[in-house]
Every structure is written in structure tokens, then in C-alpha cells.
Amino acid sequence: MVLGFNAYIHDTAAALIHEGKLVAFGEEERFSRVKHTTEFPIRAIRFVLEKAGASINDVDDVAFYWDPRCGVGRRVVQTLVNLPGSARQLFRMQLGNFGNMRRVEQVFREKMAFRGRFHHINHYEAHAAGTFYPSPFDDALILIVDGNGEIATTWFGTGEGTRIRKFGDVLYPHSLGLLYCTVTEYLGFRQNCDEGKVMGLSAYGERRYLEEFRRMVRYEGGGRFRLDLSYFDFHRSRRHWHSKKWIHSFGPPRRKDEALTEYHKDVAYAAQTVLEENVMAMVRDLTAATGKRRLVFGGGVALNCVLNGKLVNSGLIDVLYVPPPAYDAGAAWGAALKVFHDAQPDAARDRVPSPYQGPEYSDAEIETALHNAGAMYERPGDIARAAAECLAGGLIVGRFDGRLEIGPRALGHRSILADPRPPDMKDKLNARVKHRESFRPFGPSVLESRADELFDTGGRRSPYMLEAFPVRQAWYERLPAVTHVDGTARIQTVREEDDPAYHALLSAFDALTGVPCVVNTSFNVMGEPIVNTPAEAIACFLSTGIDVCAIGPFLAKKAT
């Protein structure tokens, strides 16, 4: 039994594997209710142990997703080269972060009274393990593109059987992830949090700044690139991530309360396009060098579904796998997998485990929460049919069922659902329910057997809502609530064998309307994590424009 975890940087989490199989996965934000938390994941650790019916004494090994010894010398040199500007970052960030990572074993042992083996795993090796080992492939190209780890920002190698081999990396401060973070901050959003907003905004932009952005990144071949660091300040004082040269090129940064203009959209377009061009160039060279056309893609950049959709349609690869927690939370799982497979290289891999690995609640617990909230509810004979009828009638439905999803995308178990046909549904959801920017799109859940009829998937599965596909012309006018301005949709394909209850709801909606998909967005409001408990789901339902809540076998309604 191996417990993996991450801490002190965004999206902390814990994962427990037993004989190589994922037993439970918990993201600390779902328990603490602080989105993208950096806290030590004590609640997540306690959850995964409880779910397994285990105590800390049953754990053989603990794996942490960071090796504080890696890259120290290079970081010191970089700090000295960039003095005096780097002094602020040195004392406020690097030394504090290094101290946390160096003390983490002691902290874990004290908090958990653990006496077993403790392993520091390189951040990118954890990502690589958490990306390749759960994939369906016997052999594949592995590409990890992130902000940064101990010293690397990008990592590439191959996986064969249970052996992972690195053959290259790109070192800090040259980072596509940090380029995107810089744009996120510049546009008035939170870096390491709101990069998805930049991706959504990019579809509204034009080419005005594209050549300037192309000058920022020089692709050198063989999977490697370099930034023009004169545009950036994240490696120096980090008061802002961009430099004075950036402002001279693009103007002052957007204030959070400032309206988005065409030039903000054009900056987002340029950033997205340059990211896509450089990742495509990397994949082109790496597939040519390795002969491998199966790609497993991890790191925070792998959550960019527009990029992923273009990768699968590029002709550069045959198939793509992105794990649902591709970001740092997933490196907790990857650290545990690396320790296990290093110790037992002949053990079978746990391929494509269910993404539903979080907490679940009994019908009795759900009904108690409904009583405590004073909610009106009933127990229909067929909750899937009842929810589908509400959706077909134009109602917005909160759905809470089974175990919580892992990763940032709601996959039907903690979701807000709606009819994709009304032209005003997107605006209604953004304004009445999610309380977020009007430009942000919604994705659909679709019956996998019908997906290629509605979307140009090429027959590919997309079970984790991490790829965007073109909406077919015949359906373009019929699905306005899930069709983005660029004509694509970020889809989740649903199979009966993976999730029979959610598949039944989609099938019932199809039978009622002739449309085999629904709008699916996460069950939360902007700035909050996805709901975890029944009480949180009911509170969100009662305080927003959600009309009804299908929660377990119950259908909750609001007083009229």
C-alpha cells in the first residue's frame, strides 16, 4: 500500500494505491473549500485512508511529489545572475518553498505518526508516472508540459510496459506554462487558477499580436524551446510576472474590474496560438525521433482542451491520453505509482481506472441533509427519467450522485445540467447560476454511441471532457448552449459500462427530445470548489438559479 501526496503548491491532494490499483483520491480543496489550496492535505490523506478501511500503520510507503535536492545549484546560480531583482523572490518564495519541501517528511511523520519508508519523487517523474501508468497503452510517447518543478518546466520520454525512460527536458525559467500564467495575470485573472478563462477568451481574438508573441518563444528543435526573458519578470522580482518591455509592447495590464476589450481578446488569441504551435512542434519532432504515435500528455498545460483537440486532429499522433487530474493534484497519484512500479516492475498496471474516486454518501445521509436544510423533495420511481423530464422542460438541474470525480472537470456526479438547445441557456447559466463571465463556454455530456453524429470526433472517446471537437454543421444550430464561438465543443463521452446511472439520464433525455446530450458544468459557483457533500450541494442549489436538484434517488424542488 502506497500513499502519495503533494503540498505547499497549488492543488494539493492525496492518493492511495493498493497492489498498484487506485483505491481513493482526494483533493484538499474539496474538503477545505479553498479553491486551488496550497495547504498540507491532511483532510485528503485521512479520507483516502478511511475509504480504504486502512490506518497509517497499513501503509508501506509514502511518496511525495517533489525532490528538494534537485536543481538547487542551478536555482542558486539563476538567483545570483538576476540580483538584485531576484532577492525578493529568493527570500519570499524560493527559500520558503525549499524549506517547506525539505521539512515535509518530518511534518508528515509528526502529523500521521508514520514510521515507514518516505520517498521524495522528482516532480516531473511523478507527472510522467501518473500520466503513462494509468493509460491504456503498452508503449507511448510521454510529454509533460507544466509551469515548473524543481528545475524543469517540460519533460519528455517514453513508456514501455512498466518502464519509463526520460530523454529530454527544458529547464526553468523557459516555460510555456509560465508564459500562459503571465498572460493570465496580465489579463486581470488569477494565475495558476484562471488559465481556462484565457483559453475561452482566445476564441474571440484576432492575429494583431501574434507575431510579437512568436518572437517571445524560439523553438530550437528536438522538443526544446527558449523564451525571450526580457518580456518577463517571474524569474526575478515577481512583483508582476511581466516586464516593462511587455507593457511597452501590449499596454498596461487589465484591472480586475475593467471591461474586456478587443485588445485583451487579441492577447489571449496570440498566447493560445503560440502555445499550440510550440507543443505541435514538440510533438512533431518527438514522434519522429521515437517512432511512437501514441501520446500521453500531462502537466497543467494538458488541461488545455483546445490544444488537445487540435493535437488529436493534427495527424501527428494516432491517439491521445490525458489523465483526468493532469495537473499537480495528479502528481500525488503519480508519485505513488512510481514508488510501486519501481519496487515491483513486473506488476500489472492499473489501466484507465474510474475517475470517480472521491467521497460518496448513502441515501440516508442525503435525506438527512435535505431534512436539515428544510428542502422540499420527493423520491421518484426513476430518478434518471425524472431529471431528464425536468431538463426537457427547460429547467436547470443540479446532479449529485455516487463518488466525487477527480480532476477539474465535473463528469456527471457533481454537475449542473441543462438543455443544450435554447439559445439563451449559456447566458442564463453564467448569470443566474455560475455567476461568472459571459464569454465562458459550457461543454456537453453526450452518449458515446452518438457522439460522432453530433461532433467531429473521428470515433475517438473523450470521457474526461479534456478535448474540444468541431460541432457538425447539421447540429450547429441545434446546440447553441454548448457550441463555442469557434464552432467547437469540449465534450464528455459517456458509456453505459462506465456510468450506468448517468448514461440512463442521457438516454432518457434523448428519448424525450431526440438530442443525446446535455449541458454539463461543475456543481459550484465561480471561485468555489466543486461541491463535495450533500449539504454543500443543497446549499448551492438553494442559493442559485438551479431549478431542481437530483440528489441521490431524491428530486429536490424550490418552494413556488
User: Strands 152-160, 163-171: parallel, antiparallel or unpaired by DSSP?
Assistant: antiparallel
pLDDT of residue 97: 76
Rounded to an integer, the average pLDDT of 427-434 is 92
Bridge partners, 393 (sequence order): none
Summarised one tens digit per residue, pLDDT across range 511-552 is 999 999 999 999 999 999 999 999 999 999 999 999 999 999
Bridge partners, 418 (sequence order): 519
Summarised one tens digit per residue, pLDDT across range 2-34 is 999 999 999 999 999 999 999 999 999 999 999
C-alpha–C-alpha distance, residues 242 and 76, integer Å: 22
> Which pairs from 455-461 meet CB under 8 Å and 24+ separation?
455/489, 455/491, 457/491, 457/493, 458/312, 458/313, 460/312, 460/319, 461/493, 461/495
pLDDT of residue 438: 86
Least confident segment among 96-105, 245-254, 381-390, 449-458: 96-105
- Whose cell is 456510468? That residue is 499
Alpha helices (H) along 348-382 = 363-373
pLDDT of residue 545: 96
Determine whether 36 is an active site residue.
Answer: no
Alpha-carbon 282 to chain mean position: 21
- Predicted confidence band at 419 (pLDDT cuts at 50, 70, 90)? very high
Alpha helices (H) along 161-319 = 176-186, 195-202, 210-216, 244-250, 262-290, 305-312
Rounded to an integer, the average pLDDT of 182-192 is 95
Does pLDDT of 93 surpass 60? Answer: no
Integer-rounded Cα Rg, in Å, for the chain is 23
Least confident segment among 68-77, 95-104, 466-475: 68-77
C-alpha–C-alpha distance, residues 275 and 301, integer Å: 9
Alpha helices (H) along 193-243 = 195-202, 210-216
pLDDT of residue 225: 98
Over pLDDT 90: what percentage of the chain?
Answer: 89
Full-model pTM: 0.96
C-alpha–C-alpha distance, residues 248 and 83, integer Å: 23
pLDDT of residue 79: 67
Summarised one tens digit per residue, pLDDT across range 346-385 is 999 999 999 999 999 999 999 999 999 999 999 999 999 9
Tell me the CATH number of domain 152-157+168-321, given options 1.20.1600.10, 3.30.60.50, 3.40.50.10470, 3.30.420.40.
3.30.420.40
Angle at 411 between CA 408 and CA 413, to 5 degrees: 110
Please state, in angstroms and as integers, the Cα–Cα distance from residue 212 to each residue in 228, 231, 250, 264, 298, following that order. Answer: 11, 11, 9, 14, 28
Please state, in angstroms and as integers, the Cα–Cα distance from residue 253 to each residue in 131, 265, 345, 451, 501, following that order. Answer: 35, 13, 50, 41, 47
The answer to whether 327 and 296 are in contact (CB under 8 A) is no
Please state, in angstroms and as integers, the Cα–Cα distance from residue 9 to each residue in 68, 193, 519, following that order. Answer: 13, 12, 32
DSSP 434: I
C-alpha–C-alpha distance, residues 119 and 245, integer Å: 42
Domain positions in the chain are: 2-126+327-343, 152-157+168-321, 363-557
C-alpha–C-alpha distance, residues 413 and 527, integer Å: 19
pLDDT of residue 234: 86
C-alpha–C-alpha distance, residues 330 and 542, integer Å: 32
pLDDT of residue 498: 97
Summarised one tens digit per residue, pLDDT across range 146-165 is 999 999 999 999 999 999 99
pLDDT of residue 71: 72
pLDDT of residue 70: 86
Summarised one tens digit per residue, pLDDT across range 257-289 is 999 999 999 999 999 999 999 999 999 999 999
pLDDT of residue 78: 65
Fold: same for 152-157+168-321 and 363-557: no
Indicate the average pLDDT of the chain. Answer: 95
- Predicted confidence band at 466 (pLDDT cuts at 50, 70, 90)? very high
Rounded to an integer, the average pLDDT of 180-192 is 95
- Specify the DSSP element, H or E, that contains 436: none
Please state, in angstroms and as integers, the Cα–Cα distance from residue 278 to each residue in 194, 221, 246, 274, 320, following that order. Answer: 21, 10, 20, 6, 17
pLDDT of residue 451: 98
- Predicted confidence band at 92 (pLDDT cuts at 50, 70, 90)? low
Looking at per-residue pLDDT, the higher value among 428 and 82 belongs to: 428
pLDDT of residue 235: 84
Catalytic residue of the set 10, 119, 123, 127: 10
> Which is nearest to 51 in space by CA: 310, 404, 366, 296?
404
pLDDT of residue 239: 72
Summarised one tens digit per residue, pLDDT across range 191-201 is 889 999 999 99
Summarised one tens digit per residue, pLDDT across range 61-85 is 999 999 998 876 666 666 666 666 6
Handedness of CA 447, 448, 451, 452 (dihedral sign): negative
Topology of the domain covering 2-126+327-343: Nucleotidyltransferase; domain 5 (3.30.420)
Does pLDDT of 407 surpass 90? Answer: yes
Topology of the domain covering 363-557: DHBP synthase (3.90.870)
Does pLDDT of 95 surpass 70? Answer: no
Q: Which three cell numbers stand for residue 4?
A: 502519495
The answer to whether 93 and 238 are in contact (CB under 8 A) is yes
